[in-house]
């Protein structure tokens, strides 16, 4: 016992962990012939005579260093145990069963490696990404415990059904809406398929009835299958979309050709009309039209320019739509199908510029947005939205280059040699009507590079570049912009066909009592008859 009382706490700790090689200045071993320490000496008492007194700072430092050394030894021991336990695990029954599914899952997820630097090992990188994501979720979970009251979003108000509908040949019903001039007096007819998370109520947002009257235009909008009050069509594609437009035009008495309007995601359906029913389309008015970001004819540089302008969340939504479309339901039910009101940037995963931000904050746009979204999600089914998202990133059934193709003719040897020395005028087949594309240069939803690709694929298209304009600012609630658009499409306003005459200009039918000229004419006729009878 006496020997035990002479040991300092450093020595006692050293007996537990062994010789670690750590030497503390104040914890030197006592001399072999030194006397016993006084009772109570050590940490709280006086040290042995002849030794330097150990201060609090040195004691704390020594305790921390010793604790760190113990933890290090413990970690090495755990590592050795784990290594020994996992030795030969590759040959175990569990490993053999999991090897094939793990390889299949790794192959399916290998496309994600394209976003990693070339000099990085995917296994290590994705392990780090998973760890960081887990920590981020923990931080978000802790932050969500804030007791600060937050204003709850308002519920969407869905009005009672009130749309006009007609039956398609396959039995489905299509809901539509008309604005502007009536069918018999319309000089121009426009058909507008809506974009994603929209409805027939959109059309050209904010367009005035007076402008439509001035140009003699009739604007027809309709709900895509499963949107608004239109019946769903599970097997729909872009060919069936073009046929729906054709049946709509026939049902509404549009005898002549009509113009098709394509805005954002609605541009996909407008392109299909130019491809599948070109004989019924007079022209196309496109506004930042959507293109397939996976188009096989798109160069790597064109793809990079498009993807670089999108937000991370929007990129993820496109990847899910192409690879794992079933997961989109979860996102949709947590956002615009939740029954709550929300902002376009959040629900559509958008990044907006200065002018778009200003417009989206305006009360008139918010009122339109709430009404349009409520009508779009009326049926509460995620399937139509999943189908629309998948259509955007899947094979369209055609390429934009198929809309206008150079005419190919069988040439003999003489014609071929002649073409080498002369610039023969190119002849095109397909849709040869006017195609106008308006593109905001500050558009971050459908980047300008997408329109550049469309222009390369469709040589006959005319592109109008709009400096400082975004995705919404030129197309929505801009009277002067709408006038510029109609003037470009239709020229000088000529009003409707067969204008209704003003009440003051309506000619009254003359009566016998109120028309002296008529009485004089009758008298002259009677005199002529008497003269004729006398001569006879």
- Mean pLDDT is lowest, of 55-69, 167-181, 206-220, 359-373, for 55-69
At residue 291, does pLDDT exceed 70?
yes
Distance of alpha carbon 341 from alpha carbon 168, whole angstroms: 33
- Asked whether the beta carbons of 41 and 94 are under 8 A apart, the reply is no
Q: How far is CA 472 from its chain centroid?
A: 13
At residue 519, does pLDDT exceed 60?
no
pLDDT score, position 341: 84
Beta bridge partners of 404: 430
Higher pLDDT, 185 or 53: 185
Over the stretch 84-105, which tens digit does the pLDDT of each residue have? 766 666 666 777 777 777 777 7
Name the residue with tokens 């540089």. 301
At residue 53, does pLDDT exceed 80?
no
**Highest-scoring range by mean pLDDT, 138-152, 219-233, 495-509:** 219-233
Over the stretch 448-477, which tens digit does the pLDDT of each residue have? 999 999 999 999 999 999 999 999 999 999
At residue 68, does pLDDT exceed 90?
no
pLDDT score, position 430: 85
Q: Using pLDDT thresholds of 50, 70 and 90, give the confidence band for residue 63.
A: confident
Q: φ and ψ at 438, to 5 degrees?
A: -100, 125
Name the residue with tokens 């809309």. 403
pLDDT score, position 15: 62
Distance of alpha carbon 427 from alpha carbon 376, whole angstroms: 43
Name the percent of the chain lying above pLDDT 90: 51
- Asked whether the beta carbons of 306 and 456 are under 8 A apart, the reply is no
Over the stretch 350-390, which tens digit does the pLDDT of each residue have? 888 899 999 999 999 999 999 999 999 999 999 999 999 99
Mean pLDDT of 390-414: 82
Question: Tokens standing for 275?
Answer: 């491809």
Question: Tokens standing for 128?
Answer: 């780090």
Q: Using pLDDT thresholds of 50, 70 and 90, give the confidence band for residue 149.
A: low
- Asked whether the beta carbons of 461 and 190 are under 8 A apart, the reply is no
- Asked whether the beta carbons of 349 and 317 are under 8 A apart, the reply is yes
Q: Using pLDDT thresholds of 50, 70 and 90, give the confidence band for residue 40.
A: very low
Q: Using pLDDT thresholds of 50, 70 and 90, give the confidence band for residue 493.
A: very high
- Asked whether the beta carbons of 26 and 8 are under 8 A apart, the reply is no
Higher pLDDT, 345 or 484: 484
pLDDT score, position 512: 38
Distance of alpha carbon 246 from alpha carbon 249, whole angstroms: 5
Over the stretch 265-288, which tens digit does the pLDDT of each residue have? 999 999 999 999 999 999 999 999
Mean pLDDT of the chain: 80
Q: Three-state SS string across 412-470, please?
A: CHHHHHHHHHCCCCCCEEECCCCEEEEEECCCCCCCHHHHHHHHHHCCCEEEEEECCCC
Distance of alpha carbon 237 from alpha carbon 116, whole angstroms: 34
Q: Using pLDDT thresholds of 50, 70 and 90, give the confidence band for residue 145.
A: low
Q: What share of the chain is helix, strand, coil (3-state, %, to 5)?
A: 50, 10, 40
pLDDT score, position 441: 95
pLDDT score, position 524: 55
Helix (H, G, I), strand (E, B) or coil at 74: helix
Over the stretch 209-257, which tens digit does the pLDDT of each residue have? 999 999 999 999 999 999 999 999 988 999 999 999 999 999 999 999 9
Mean pLDDT of 38-46: 42
At residue 507, does pLDDT exceed 50?
no
Distance of alpha carbon 220 from alpha carbon 249, whole angstroms: 9
Distance of alpha carbon 77 from alpha carbon 69, whole angstroms: 12
- Asked whether the beta carbons of 258 and 414 are under 8 A apart, the reply is no
Helix (H, G, I), strand (E, B) or coil at 115: helix
Mean pLDDT of 33-43: 43
pLDDT score, position 117: 62
Question: In residues, how long is the chain?
Answer: 536
Task: Write the DSSP symbol of residue 335.
Answer: T
């Amino acid at each position: 016992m006496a020997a035990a009382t002479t040991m300092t706490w450093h020595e006692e700790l050293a007996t537990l962990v062994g010789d670690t090689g750590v030497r503390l200045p104040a914890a030197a071993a006592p001399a072999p012939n030194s006397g016993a320490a006084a009772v109570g000496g050590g940490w709280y008492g006086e040290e042995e005579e002849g030794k330097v007194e150990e201060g609090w700072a040195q004691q704390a430092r020594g305790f921390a260093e010793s604790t760190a050394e113990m933890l290090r030894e413990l970690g090495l021991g755990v590592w050795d145990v784990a290594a020994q336990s996992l030795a030969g695990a590759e040959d175990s029954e569990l490993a053999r069963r999991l090897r094939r599914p793990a390889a299949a899952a790794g192959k399916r997820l290998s496309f994600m490696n394209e976003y990693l630097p070339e000099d990085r090992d995917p296994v290590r990188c994705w392990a780090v990404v998973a760890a960081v994501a887990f920590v981020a979720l923990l931080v978000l979970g802790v932050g969500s415990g804030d007791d600060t009251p937050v204003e709850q979003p308002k519920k969407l108000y869905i009005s009672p059904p009130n749309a006009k509908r007609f039956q398609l040949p396959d039995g489905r019903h299509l809901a539509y809406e008309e604005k502007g001039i009536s069918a018999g007096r319309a000089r121009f007819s426009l058909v507008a398929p809506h974009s994603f998370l929209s409805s027939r109520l959109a059309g050209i947002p904010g367009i005035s009835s007076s402008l439509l009257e001035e140009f003699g235009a009739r604007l027809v909008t309709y709900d895509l299958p499963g949107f608004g009050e239109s019946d769903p069509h599970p097997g729909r594609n872009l060919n069936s979309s073009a046929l729906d437009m054709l049946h709509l035009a026939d049902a509404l008495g549009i005898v002549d050709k009509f113009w098709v309007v394509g805005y954002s995601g609605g541009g996909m359906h407008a392109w299909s009309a130019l491809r599948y029913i070109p004989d019924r389309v007079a022209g196309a008015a496109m506004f930042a039209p959507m293109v397939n970001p996976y188009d096989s004819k798109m160069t790597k540089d064109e793809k990079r320019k498009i993807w670089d302008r999108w937000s991370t969340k929007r990129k993820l939504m496109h990847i899910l739509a192409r690879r794992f479309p079933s997961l989109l339901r979860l996102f949709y039910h947590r956002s615009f199908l939740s029954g709550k009101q929300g902002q376009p940037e959040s629900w559509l995963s958008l990044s907006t510029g200065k002018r778009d931000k200003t417009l989206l904050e305006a009360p008139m746009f918010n009122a339109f947005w709430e009404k349009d979204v409520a009508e779009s999600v009326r049926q509460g089914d995620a399937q139509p939205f999943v189908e629309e998202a998948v259509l955007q990133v899947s094979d369209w059934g055609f390429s934009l280059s198929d809309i206008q193709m150079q005419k190919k003719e069988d040439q003999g040897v003489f014609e071929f040699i002649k073409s080498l020395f002369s610039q023969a005028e190119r002849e095109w087949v397909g849709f040869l009507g006017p195609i106008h594309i308006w593109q905001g240069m500050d558009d971050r939803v459908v980047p300008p590079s997408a329109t550049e690709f469309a222009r390369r694929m469709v040589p006959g298209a005319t592109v109008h570049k709009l400096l400082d304009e975004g995705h919404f600012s030129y197309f929505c609630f801009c009277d002067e912009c709408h006038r510029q658009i109609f003037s470009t499409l239709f020229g000088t306003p000529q009003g409707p066909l067969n204008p209704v005459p003003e009440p003051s200009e309506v000619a009254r039918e003359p009566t016998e009592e109120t028309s002296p000229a008529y009485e004089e004419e009758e008298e002259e006729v009677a005199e002529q008859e008497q003269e004729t009878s006398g001569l006879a």
